């Protein structure tokens, strides 16, 4: 049994990346080649869909009213629209102008930070449903004053893409894109019949965080404790509500579990936006295993998530 690991510190997508693969069938060289291909796919995704790259497909789209898009761009738009409707517009990629107005105008941690133009939010359209896709021609039309961002779905989308790529050959692997994860099979390196995932404590106080026992599952955490900045005398963050701007409620972070990382990624943000009481209620109504950490040092593990928590 061979295990090969690769870690990258904020070199791609401004986040920490970890990929591990175990196999008794393939050589170390073959496994390393597949990990390198996965890293290459991440680099290509960032180049094509980053709003901080003025030459990216996303930037060209944002500056157009009619645009001929790649199939992957259309796939991203379709799944974004699906979740926009499913979450009753709480997930909305068209809120980029508000995000910029709040001060998120450059890439966090990037070696080559690039600023993007600040905007007057009053001039922009936030109705994501106004995007129209012609699947016959791959032409997309939208209001010229609509600007979108794939930051709320990009990591989950790429975890799914890389997981499908690795599943063609491997059963036991881990993909971690800054906390958006898929855990395939078993942790062979530690001889566990599962993967044991420790949820990071976002608080400075001593809070006993749960360890999750997962196999062939995805998990994602969204919070206001990492990507934040000061604008004037107020701390802002990248979780945006159309009516209020930067999120400011009683939650620090939310973790969601599923078999699909896009679902985890998006619903972690949705539950975070809803706040603790409404978020717990929503998660249980929609059968979403979720873990909530409040600003008051509270920890809530909903009934759907409890079966995944390790106990002695």
Q: What is the pLDDT of residues 36-66, one digit of tens each?
A: 999 999 999 999 999 999 999 999 999 999 9
CB 261 within 8 A of CB 218: yes
pTM here is 0.92
- Per-residue model confidence (pLDDT) at position 113: 44
Q: DSSP assignment of 23-81, as one string?
A: ESSS-HHHHHHHHHHHHHHHHHHHHHH-TT-TTSHHHHHHT-SEEE--HHHHHHHHHHH
DSSP letter assigned to residue 204 = S
**pLDDT at residue 92 above 70?**
yes
Of the spans 104-108, 115-119, 287-291, which averages the highest pLDDT? Answer: 287-291
Between 233 and 118, the more confident residue is 233
Averaged pLDDT, 254-270 = 97
**pLDDT at residue 144 above 70?**
yes
Between 219 and 237, the more confident residue is 219
Which CA distances in Å does 101 have to 52, 106, 116, 206, 283? 15, 12, 11, 35, 30
Distance CA 238, CA 248 (A): 11
- Per-residue model confidence (pLDDT) at position 234: 59
Q: DSSP assignment of 224-243, as one string?
A: SSSSEEEETTEEEES-EETT
Domains of the chain: 1-51+152-178 (no CATH), 57-141 (1.10.3980), 194-312 (3.10.520.10)
Averaged pLDDT, 276-290 = 97
User: Confidence class of residue 258 from pLDDT cuts 50, 70 and 90?
Assistant: very high
User: Confidence class of residue 101 from pLDDT cuts 50, 70 and 90?
Assistant: confident
User: Confidence class of residue 232 from pLDDT cuts 50, 70 and 90?
Assistant: low
- Per-residue model confidence (pLDDT) at position 205: 77
85-94, 133-142, 157-166, 235-244 — which is least confidently predicted? Answer: 235-244
User: Confidence class of residue 117 from pLDDT cuts 50, 70 and 90?
Assistant: low
User: Confidence class of residue 132 from pLDDT cuts 50, 70 and 90?
Assistant: very high
Per-residue pLDDT reduced to its tens digit, 151-168: 999 999 999 999 999 999
HSE, CB side, 13 Å, CA atoms: give it for residue 18: 11
């Amino acid at each position: 049994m061979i295990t090969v690991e690769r870690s990258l510190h904020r070199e791609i997508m401004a986040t920490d990346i970890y990929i591990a693969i175990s196999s008794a069938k393939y050589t170390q060289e073959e496994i390393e080649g597949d990990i390198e291909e996965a890293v290459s796919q991440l680099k290509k995704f960032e180049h094509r869909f980053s709003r901080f790259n003025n030459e990216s497909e996303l930037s060209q789209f944002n500056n157009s009213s009619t645009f001929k898009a790649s199939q992957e761009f259309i796939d991203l738009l379709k799944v974004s629209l699906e979740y926009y409707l499913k979450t009753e517009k709480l997930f909305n990629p068209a809120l980029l102008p508000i995000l910029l107005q709040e001060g998120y105008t450059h890439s966090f941690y990037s070696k080559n930070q690039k600023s993007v133009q600040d905007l007057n939010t009053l001039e922009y359209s936030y109705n994501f449903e106004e995007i129209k896709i012609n699947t016959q021609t791959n032409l997309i039309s939208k209001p010229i004053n609509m600007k979108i961002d794939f930051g709320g779905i990009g990591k989950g989308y790429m975890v799914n893409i890389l997981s499908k790529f690795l599943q063609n050959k491997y059963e036991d692997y881990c993909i971690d894109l800054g906390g958006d994860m898929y855990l395939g099979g078993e942790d062979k390196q530690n001889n566990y019949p599962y993967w044991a995932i420790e949820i990071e404590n976002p608080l400075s106080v001593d809070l006993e965080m749960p360890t999750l026992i997962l196999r062939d599952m995805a998990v994602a955490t969204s919070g206001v404790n990492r990507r934040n900045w000061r604008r004037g005398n107020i701390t802002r963050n990248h979780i945006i509500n159309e009516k209020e701007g930067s999120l400011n409620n009683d939650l620090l972070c939310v973790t969601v579990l599923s078999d699909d990382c896009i679902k985890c990624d998006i619903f972690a943000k949705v539950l975070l936006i809803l706040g603790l009481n409404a978020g717990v209620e929503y998660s249980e109504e929609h059968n979403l295993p979720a873990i909530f950490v409040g600003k008051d040092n509270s920890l809530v593990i909903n009934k759907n998530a409890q079966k995944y928590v390790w106990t002695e």
